[in-house]
A and B are shown apart, each in its own frame.
Chain A
Amino acid sequence: MIFHDILIVGGGLAGMRAAVEAAKKVKDVAIISRVHPMRSHSGEAQGGINAALANVEKGKDDTVDKHAFDTVKGSDFLADQDASEYLTYQGPETIFEMEHWGCPFSRTPEGKVAQRPFGGAGFPRTCYATDKTGLYLLQTLYEQIIKEKIKVYEEWVVFALGSEGDNCYGVIAYDPHSGELTPVGANAVIFGTGGIGRIYSNTTNALTNTGLAMAAPYWAGVPLKDIEFVQFHPTSLAKSHILMTEGCRGEGGYLINNKGERFMKNYVSETVMELGPRDIVSRSIQTEILQGRGFPDGSIHLDLRHLGAGKIMERLPGIRDICLNFIGIDPIYEPIPITPGTHYSMGGIDTDIDGACRMKGLYAAGECACVSMHGANRLGGNSLLDTIVYGARAGKKASEYVKDKEKGPKVKVLEEAARREESRIAQWKKGTGEGNPYKIKNELSQVMVEGFGIFRNEKDMAKGLEQVKELKERAKKLKPAFNGKKYNYDIIGFYDMKGNLDVAEAIGTGALTRKESRGSHFRTDFKTRDDANWLKHTLTYFNEMGPRLDYSPVKITKYKPEERKY
């Protein structure tokens, strides 16, 4: 049976950074990744990574504490403040480390790492490499994986944990190259599986960002935390929802309605304008559209024309390429039609500040995890920092955890877990229902947009949750349409569907229960934040009959919750 002292699930930024850190102390580290590491969705991150370097004139008074405060305020005070502080205090060192590994950051005239303004931040704090920061960071970490000769199981997909009681002993993965369901033993497993955007139809996320990113630990009894908090990015292309970086606005881009107005002045102060935090800007855009001030295609315009060809080509070349290739528009001459799109999950697999889950031997980092440092709304540029800072921390803590462990697999537990998955699949094959997993996924993704989108209310959420439950019932009767062994993407799609449905139900249940508005969770029937009753984290436990909710306190260090004004 395959065994590694530390096994990392996910080859994106969090997973690879965890692997590099773990390999400093532990010899036998391996990565299982659903896609080749260079195909990871981290590579689609564009605008940048935050750190209080104070490298540019306008940011010369920036400090890590100011970064921490902006993060906590951005989170609408739901973040655990010690987690936000650790994130931001590690910022400068993290940038220097990535730069020392060769990451090609853009430069200031003095030759330092360049920084640009981003939403919800008091200073230009977002370090960038044109508008391809995620891609270059991904390249940099993949290069380290090659250098350190860390084994990668490419395109293996984890379907379940191999756990017993409160202990994790590995995973059960589908190896498409052999077609086998394969148990992989480990003394510690670190999840760095990314986001779940594909639960929603209007997402900026890649096709592979499904509920399965969080479902395996969830099914095994590990709670999801604050899963009802889903970030809608203000600017995604109107039809395809391909991301248009916040850097567009950081570089000075305008948001314009059909009256030709820079409407953000009606929602935030004139000094903030387009650079409000994402939850507020998305709600503002959606309000303009709902009140009839959108363009005929239902969009709002992101206008970069006044920046001029030079700045667009130098700072936003990737954005221009995407516009030219995917919608036939050159942003030098025409505004870009955008709407908000589902972008990021603040919630995720519940961990403590060490990335450790409520199951021994299991860790999580990056978007799939919820420490929580982003609370109810993440600031742009903080997620890339999160992947690297907490990826490294989870890697370090896992390597301490495995120190005295026996170096061999718990064969019985893992074989039993593999058999359980095999019988699950065998059971599915007996299905008698009509349709296929794609249809269920597509319907679900519409239900989520309508029920659990930017504006939420009791009636629509209750209806949405009912529809999710109906889809779950229909899905139970479905059978996989293709029974081949090797490269069977149909069976992966089946697990994606199950993951989407169960995580969607968790989102819906948490959202319906939380009777307040906080950050990305905005209810038109409870429009204000209610700290007396709801300054707490939601913990959602999987249950065949429907999720069970629990709550845990928010850690407050030095920032007293106050009304959030921009």
Chain B
Amino acid sequence: MVEFNIFRYDPDKGGEPYFQSYKFEPEKGMTILEGLLYINENLDPSVAYRASCREAVCGSCAMHINDMYRLACKTQISVMGSKITLRPLSHLPVMKDLVVDLNPFFEHFKEIKPYFIPREAPPNKEYLQTIEQRKKIDAWLDCILCGACYGSCPVAGKDGNYLGPHALLKALRFVDDSRDGGAKERIAVVARENGVFRCHTVFNCQKVCPKDLDPSGAIARLKMKAIFKKY
């Protein structure tokens, strides 16, 4: 038997949020997401959460599970124990139960000009990029914008204007791309008051990232670039 203790808030009714407990017998190999689906299907259809790909690629189901921000689809019930507490992502307004308003998160993302700014006019075919040049951005590419880093970041919690680990990581993805020519304008954005220098190097983002990315490392690298103007 497992007990899911779920954060509940109903916007139709308002009032204070509360925790509601659901008990059921989990199947072997069941994930937290499958547990939530089980609850919807058998116990309570009103529990709201986001989910889609169920394979840790779409980034829908980031939430606080027991002690850490995790993807519900990638987390085994058996690993989390018999009593599991689920809370929505922090630092973002709760809309219903485990669903938060991600607009502030995406607005910060848009600030770093998260699109390719070509260094040169496009050739007739593809831009050439060596295997080594391509390797340089490999570590910054896999962000699925789930929000786990943002929820875990104490700076994001204190300062709603802080760009956040997700946006800063994305900035480096372009700055380090041999084909991109927008480094100067992007560094100008991330070097401002609510950018890289606001990071307290707590490493929470790195610890929770379900794709094993290193936003802390990206931020450190951006700091160096901003200071030494190496871009």
A332 near B: Cβ within 8 Å? no
A551 near B: Cβ within 8 Å? no
**Listed stretches A252-260, A383-391, A477-485; interface member:** A477-485
Distance between Cα atoms of A26 and B118 in the complex (Å)? 25
Instruction: Report which residue of A102, A243, A439 has the largest number of chain B beta carbons within 10 angstroms of its beta carbon.
Output: A102
Name B101's closest neighbour in chain A (CB-CB): A177
For B, the interface residue count at a CB cutoff of 8 angstroms equals: 53
A136 near B: Cβ within 8 Å? yes
Q: Is B99 in contact with A135, judged by CB distance below 8 angstroms?
A: no
Least distance between A250 CB and chain B CB atoms (Å): 19
Binding site for A on B (CB under 8 A): 10-12, 29, 37, 40-41, 45-46, 48, 50-60, 74, 95-97, 99, 102, 106, 110, 114-116, 118, 122, 124-131, 133-134, 137, 141-142, 144-145, 174, 177, 179-180
Q: Is B52 in contact with A107, judged by CB distance below 8 angstroms?
A: no
Binding site for B on A (CB under 8 A): 35-36, 38-41, 43-44, 95-96, 99-102, 104-107, 109-113, 132, 135-136, 139-140, 143-144, 146-147, 177, 179, 206-208, 239-240, 242-243, 321-322, 325-326, 436, 438-439, 442, 481-482, 484-490, 493
Q: Is A438 in contact with B41, judged by CB distance below 8 angstroms?
A: yes
Q: Is A43 in contact with B126, judged by CB distance below 8 angstroms?
A: no
Q: Is B177 in contact with A104, judged by CB distance below 8 angstroms?
A: yes
Distance between Cα atoms of A100 and B120 in the complex (Å)? 10
Distance between Cα atoms of A36 and B103 in the complex (Å)? 11
Q: Is A43 in contact with B74, judged by CB distance below 8 angstroms?
A: no
8 Å CB contact of A41 from B53, B116, B124, B133 = B53
Least distance between A342 CB and chain B CB atoms (Å): 15
What residues on B are CB-neighbors of A487 within 8 Å?
11, 48, 95-97, 99
What residues on B are CB-neighbors of A40 within 8 Å?
58
Name A148's closest neighbour in chain B (CB-CB): B115
What residues on A are CB-neighbors of B118 within 8 Å?
100
8 Å CB contact of B126 from A38, A105, A109, A439 = A105
Q: Which 3 residue pairs are nearest across A and B when measured between Cβ atoms?
A: A102-B116, A111-B128, A143-B115
Q: A39 with B58: in contact, given A111-B128, A179-B12 (CB under 8 Å)? A: yes
Q: Is A102 in contact with B180, judged by CB distance below 8 angstroms?
A: yes
Q: A39 with B52: in contact, given A99-B127, A105-B126, A112-B126 (CB under 8 Å)? A: yes
What residues on A are CB-neighbors of B48 within 8 Å?
487-489
Q: What are 15 A-B pairs at a CB distance below 8 A?
A: A36-B102, A36-B106, A39-B50, A39-B59, A41-B52, A44-B57, A102-B179, A112-B125, A135-B142, A206-B53, A206-B58, A439-B41, A485-B12, A490-B40, A490-B46
Distance between Cα atoms of A321 and B124 in the complex (Å)? 36
Least distance between A367 CB and chain B CB atoms (Å): 15
Beyond the given pairs A147-B115, A325-B56, 8 more chain A to chain B contacts, judged by CB atoms under 8 angstroms and listed by A's residue number, are A35-B50, A38-B145, A39-B60, A41-B58, A100-B118, A104-B141, A107-B131, A487-B99
Q: Is B115 in contact with A144, judged by CB distance below 8 angstroms?
A: yes
Q: Is A111 in contact with B129, judged by CB distance below 8 angstroms?
A: yes
Name A439's closest neighbour in chain B (CB-CB): B41
What residues on A are CB-neighbors of B50 within 8 Å?
35, 39
* A-B CB pair tally, cutoff 8 Å: 146
Least distance between B60 CB and chain A CB atoms (Å): 5
8 Å CB contact of B53 from A44, A102, A325 = A44
Least distance between A528 CB and chain B CB atoms (Å): 38
Q: Is A177 in contact with B95, judged by CB distance below 8 angstroms?
A: yes
Q: Is A102 in contact with B115, judged by CB distance below 8 angstroms?
A: yes
Q: Is A436 in contact with B41, judged by CB distance below 8 angstroms?
A: yes
Least distance between B218 CB and chain A CB atoms (Å): 16
Q: Is B180 in contact with A44, judged by CB distance below 8 angstroms?
A: no
Distance between Cα atoms of A489 and B99 in the complex (Å)? 11
What residues on B are CB-neighbors of A179 within 8 Å?
12
Distance between Cα atoms of A321 and B126 in the complex (Å)? 30
Distance between Cα atoms of A39 and B106 in the complex (Å)? 13
Q: Is B45 in contact with A482, judged by CB distance below 8 angstroms?
A: yes
Distance between Cα atoms of A132 and B56 in the complex (Å)? 12
Q: Is A109 in contact with B57, judged by CB distance below 8 angstroms?
A: no
8 Å CB contact of A100 from B56, B106, B122, B137 = B122
Q: Is B115 in contact with A43, judged by CB distance below 8 angstroms?
A: no
Distance between Cα atoms of A365 and B125 in the complex (Å)? 26
Instruction: Report which residue of A105, A143, A442, A487 has the largest number of chain B beta carbons within 10 angstroms of its beta carbon.
Output: A487
Name A136's closest neighbour in chain B (CB-CB): B141
8 Å CB contact of B29 from A99, A239, A486, A490 = A239
Distance between Cα atoms of A44 and B179 in the complex (Å)? 25
Distance between Cα atoms of A207 and B144 in the complex (Å)? 17
Least distance between A445 CB and chain B CB atoms (Å): 13
Instruction: Report which residue of B53, B115, B177 has the largest number of chain A beta carbons within 10 angstroms of its beta carbon.
Output: B53
Least distance between A365 CB and chain B CB atoms (Å): 20
Distance between Cα atoms of A111 and B178 in the complex (Å)? 12
Q: A486 with B102: in contact, given A35-B52, A40-B58, A111-B130 (CB under 8 Å)? A: no
Name B210's closest neighbour in chain A (CB-CB): A325
Q: Is A146 in contact with B114, judged by CB distance below 8 angstroms?
A: yes
Q: A95 with B131: in contact, given A206-B52, A242-B55 (CB under 8 Å)? A: no
Distance between Cα atoms of A106 and B134 in the complex (Å)? 7
Least distance between B45 CB and chain A CB atoms (Å): 4
8 Å CB contact of B129 from A107, A140, A484 = A107
Distance between Cα atoms of A219 and B40 in the complex (Å)? 27
